[in-house]
Structure 1
Amino acid sequence: MTGQVDDTSKSRSSSDNQSKQPFDNEKHIASVGLAELDAQPSSQIEKVQEVLHDEELLTPEEDKRLLRKIDWYTVPIMMSIYGMQYADKVSLSAGVIFGLREDTHLVANEYAWLTTIFYLGYLVAQPLLNYLMQRVNASRFLSILIVLWGAVVMCLAACNNFSSLMAVRFLLGAMEGGVTPGFMLIVSSWYKKSEQNSRQLLYLAMNTGFSVWTTVVIYFLAKRSEEQGGLSGWRVINLFLGGVTIFVGLLACAFLRLPSNAWWLSEKEKKAARARIVDNATGSGDTQKWKWDQVRDAFTDPTTYFIFFISVVSCIPNGGITTFQTIVYKSFGFTPLESILYQLPSYAMSVSWIFFCIGVLHFFPRLRFFFMCFTVLPAFVAVLTAGLLPSDPSYKWIKYGVYLMSILYALQTFLMWSLMPSIIAGRTKKTVVSTLTFVGYCTGNMIGPQVFRSNDAPLYRTGLVVTASMLALVFVLCLAWLAYLVWTNARRRKVLRDMGVSEEERILKNKINGELDMTDNKNIYFLYNY
């Protein structure tokens, strides 16, 4: 293998000379590049040689055993954490019908601002959290953050007015801000591109999957509080969810790891875990120095802007639906307790839809963008129907039945997030794109609740129609992004053919460039999997 890398470095200058003329004729010459292995420090070359050598030694049987071990220690804890994240979010929606407004004296649009301030905290914390996860061990940092987040959830139960709620909700957003980008980094550090989609969707499915049981618990806690008095139902809900989150955070401190510090792997298994993802050509999640050229690369890559604007547009519906979900159900004519209980079928439908998607994509991975585009259409119909049908009680069950599909829109965002680690290369570039993604996520979620105005209550027709319009725009943006990725791959393949690069040579040089922390935009051998 050492000889193979040496041959690659020696032949690189001749390949570069052959390719110089085709690149000079390319309109976007700055967007592609070749790594000069000879220019790297000897220690870096040795690391690349070692990883490629370890990859050759890894047998299929050993890889399968290692994958099962990684899954066992990593996936369940991420599923639990992500489930609690969503449960904590919807606790506000449930709390509002169990005394939150009355106990804290909320008026006008102050309830909507409690969601907006959460995402403002999320947004403000993003740059710092993402930078810290590049400079320190991401898994340890994230585990501590989860424990702190659980403590902040419990603090919500002590709030008695709008200002205290705003302060605690801001802190809560800041604490939760590291979870999704951190998980994306962890998954890309452990799994091959072909494995990432299913693992990402497994924990993302808990966004609603956990809500099946937490909603039942919330229902009985709130009912008991109503019947027996004592603490208001919304306070009990936050104490319960905060306590569970702290427990899950402590489990994360014990088990959530990156390959470099996983106590449950032997030294040989740690090397194998690093080697098994070398074909991704997107680097690892280990600490890296900050590279300003990769920051510029991120801001000149069209994919960055597709991800950002899709995040904004898709999260306007998310912010509105998540915050006003229980209230919308109540507007159909259900009691407060029924409004919580009748959400269960939608959660079950969402989880089933995600698992169906996981199964289909396992056998037909190129259908990812098909699901990204078309999963928003049922939600578009559901939200628009709920907004336009008359408020007559005779339409109660029709509205309910159709609105159940509104939750299916979330799959589009989940698929985009699961795609990002496999198409963004370069450690600093990943940090920048991740930060911009969740800035867009926060922006959309802050706008979402504001389109549900108090003067539109109880039907909120304007908010529902705006939400439906945003879902339609997501459909168009996803199609445009797919067209760009197809065009980029075709252009790169043409340049490689003109250079006389074989597929075997492309794969090897792609691996080397990935280990050298080259970005996807600069690495001509990198092809996007969509």
Structure 2
Amino acid sequence: MAPQHDVDIEKDQDGQKHVVITSVEGVDAAALATAAVAGRELDPAEARRLVRKIDLNILPLMCFVYMIQFLDKVSLSYASIMGIRQQNHLTLGQYSWLSSIFYLAFLVGEWPTNYALQRLPLAKWTSINVILWGGVLACTAATKNFQGLMAVRFFLGLLESCVSPAFSLVTSQWYKKNEQGTRTGIWFSCNALAQIFGALIAWGFAKHDMAGDFAIPGWKVLFLFLGGITMALGVLLLIFLPDSPLNARFLTEHERVLAIERIRSNNSGIGNKKYKWYQVREALLDPLTWLYCLFAAANMVINGGITSFFNILISSFGFSTLDSLLFGAPGGATVVVAVLLFLWLGDRFKKRCLCGICALLVGMLGMLLIWQLPTHYKVGRLIGYYLCNVFVAGFIVVFSLVGSNVAGSTKKSTVLAAFFVAYACGNLIGPQTFRSKDAPRYAPALATSVALICFCIVDLALIWFITARRNRKRDEIMSSPDYVARENVEFLDETDLENVAFRYVS
């Protein structure tokens, strides 16, 4: 059932009618906080100072945590060529299942964690999950067989399911729509930075392990090291990340109000703790929800295979174990540059979907080079590997669209949950496309990736078409002389379909 509003109708000096919301059931907390400054134009210099302060206090926390979550997730790939497969007596099929079980648990955890993110303090729930998964990761060092590894990978996926939707909500709480793509690109690109640092860290551990410098196998030292860092970052997140702008200790009371007023034009508020079932229904009936989900599933089938097998894939080009670890690093640098470039261009020129399609085309070129070049062109195939990673920027574009284009706290949590269920399903399937009988070229897996990138391009083009059409229709409605403008509606926790003033990013 939609929220019940009490309204008054007033006329301005030109006789234009305005609906003024005087009370509402289930109102967003921001509506009350900004009552005294509603509609105030922020001084540009003051706004820039405020954004810089938010960036310096919020973004580093998200970047470091997102970097370590990716390192923790793909640490199995580094360990795969450091002896974990041999010492735990794993077949290639069992190794594939260790990658898939992570995303099966991720899928299981997604709906409960998104419900918790709406109902519980956002930062505290996220921090506790980070601390716990750090402990689980460290326990990987104690495993001795396939069953033990399956258990720790399951709980790791269950706990990591929290971080991406949480950071999407944090970004939409603090930033305007035309800032969200770039900020999402910054913290999400730390996945790629993790690939760079992870390659160097794993190379160092592998080298010392080969020299006999450790009392225990090098892969165990790697998991203990990463687990300890993760728990420490979780504690820092618990201390320094606020649950919302309303309780940000790094801002003055006046700055907190201005931080919320600044995002009024988003028409999506900063969160509402009341769970509204009509918004769940709307989310499930909105075609954009399913286009977002189909994109996530298709894109992550590619990702699931590449992230789990990238070291094995590079080794298959003809490089040594240590070289394979080092050659993974430039792939991360390529992704960092591509993500920041395409997301910045999307915000700069207000063409986020077009920039996502361009990123997918670059990724397709890379896949074709790996797949079609003869095996003796190992440098050319390695360049193809670097280029193929750019497809991830397309995913980040769509992920940022979910944050920018979905309004209503319950609807947003529902769409995020569905999106990451699809994300988990794709990553669950991805490792299974790499089969031992297809080594060393893995042609079926690469052909599947090319086909899925084509599907993603069509999907993103449809998202672009639908959002642009909805904006045109709303412009027509609001330009009509019969249109009655509503004031104080921005923080009433209405959905994007309810609020005619809402505009989609395309």
- TM-score band by shorter chain is over 0.9
Which residue, out of 286, 294, 310, partners 1:325? 310
Pick the structure with more helix per residue: 1
2:261 aligns with 275
Q: Is residue 526 of structure 1 aligned with residue 494 of structure 2?
A: no
Q: 2:28, 2:493 within 8 Å by CA — same for their partners in 1?
A: no
TM-score (norm 2): 0.92
SS of the aligned residue for 1:263 comes to coil
Provide Cα deviations, 1:26-62, integer angstroms capped at 9, x if missing partner: xxxxxxxx98835736998994594372551743333
Q: 1:103, 1:160 within 8 Å by CA — same for their partners in 2?
A: yes
Q: Is residue 386 of structure 1 aligned with residue 386 of structure 2?
A: no
Q: Is residue 427 of structure 1 aligned with residue 409 of structure 2?
A: yes
Q: 1:281, 1:512 within 8 Å by CA — same for their partners in 2?
A: no
Q: Note the residue ranges of structure 1 that are not aligned, 5 or more in a row.
A: 13-17, 19-33
Q: CA RMSD in A?
A: 2.4
2:491 aligns with 515
2:14 aligns with none
Q: 1:55, 1:276 within 8 Å by CA — same for their partners in 2?
A: no
Q: Distance in 1 between matches of 2:29 and 2:239?
A: 34
2:477 aligns with 495
- Which amino acid is the alignment partner of residue 66 of structure 1? L
How many percent of aligned residue pairs carry the same amino acid? 34
Provide Cα deviations, 1:431-457, integer angstroms capped at 9, x if missing partner: 100000000100100011111112212
Q: Is residue 189 of structure 1 aligned with residue 188 of structure 2?
A: no
Q: Distance in 2 between matches of 1:372 and 1:358?
A: 8
What are the residue-to-residue correspondences of 1:240-255 with 2, within 5 Å? 240-255=225-240
TM-score (norm 1): 0.88
- Which amino acid is the alignment partner of residue 247 of structure 2? N
CA 489–57 in structure 1, closer or farther in 2 if over 3 Å, else same = closer
Provide Cα deviations, 1:474-519, integer angstroms capped at 9, x if missing partner: 1111111111111111222223334544xxx75xx3x733311110
1:337 aligns with 322
1:471 aligns with 453
Q: Note the residue ranges of structure 2 that are not aligned, 5 or more in a row.
A: 12-16
What are the residue-to-residue correspondences of 1:226-305 with 2, within 5 Å? 226-228=210-212, 230-257=215-242, 258-285=244-271, 287-305=272-290
Q: Distance in 2 between matches of 1:402 and 1:46?
A: 48
What displacement does 1:359 show? Answer: 4.2
Q: Is residue 456 of structure 1 aligned with residue 402 of structure 2?
A: no
- Which amino acid is the alignment partner of residue 263 of structure 2? I
2:423 aligns with 441
Provide Cα deviations, 1:301-341, integer angstroms capped at 9, x if missing partner: 11111101111111110001000111110000111111110
Which residue, out of 384, 388, 406, partners 2:388? 406
Q: Is residue 309 of structure 1 aligned with residue 290 of structure 2?
A: no
The 10-residue stretch of structure 1 (235-244 or 353-362) with the greater mean CA deviation from structure 2:
353-362
2:9 aligns with 10
CA 207–41 in structure 1, closer or farther in 2 if over 3 Å, else same = closer
Q: Is residue 351 of structure 1 aligned with residue 333 of structure 2?
A: no
Q: Distance in 2 between matches of 1:44 and 1:90?
A: 38
Q: Distance in 2 between matches of 1:48 and 1:524?
A: 22
Q: 1:385, 1:402 within 8 Å by CA — same for their partners in 2?
A: yes
1:77 aligns with 61
CA 248–38 in structure 1, closer or farther in 2 if over 3 Å, else same = closer
The 10-residue stretch of structure 1 (435-444 or 408-417) with the greater mean CA deviation from structure 2:
408-417
The 10-residue stretch of structure 1 (456-465 or 409-418) with the greater mean CA deviation from structure 2:
456-465
Which residue, out of 140, 149, 157, partners 1:156? 140
Q: Distance in 1 between matches of 2:59 and 2:489?
A: 29
What displacement does 1:425 show? Answer: 0.4
Q: 1:320, 1:467 within 8 Å by CA — same for their partners in 2?
A: no
Q: Distance in 1 between matches of 2:314 and 2:34?
A: 58
Which residue, out of 360, 367, 383, partners 2:351? 367
- Which amino acid is the alignment partner of residue 69 of structure 2? Q
Q: Distance in 1 between matches of 2:22 and 2:296?
A: 40
1:28 aligns with none
Q: Distance in 1 between matches of 2:26 and 2:189?
A: 44
Q: Distance in 2 between matches of 1:456 and 1:466?
A: 13
Which residue, out of 392, 396, 400, partners 2:378? 396
What displacement does 1:356 show? Answer: 2.3
Q: Distance in 2 between matches of 1:79 and 1:518?
A: 30
Provide Cα deviations, 1:123-172, integer angstroms capped at 9, x if missing partner: 10111111111111101111111111111111111111111111110100
What displacement does 1:525 show? Answer: 2.1
CA 190–49 in structure 1, closer or farther in 2 if over 3 Å, else same = closer
What displacement does 1:384 show? Answer: 2.7
2:149 aligns with 165
Q: Distance in 2 between matches of 1:51 and 1:416?
A: 33
Aligned length: 495
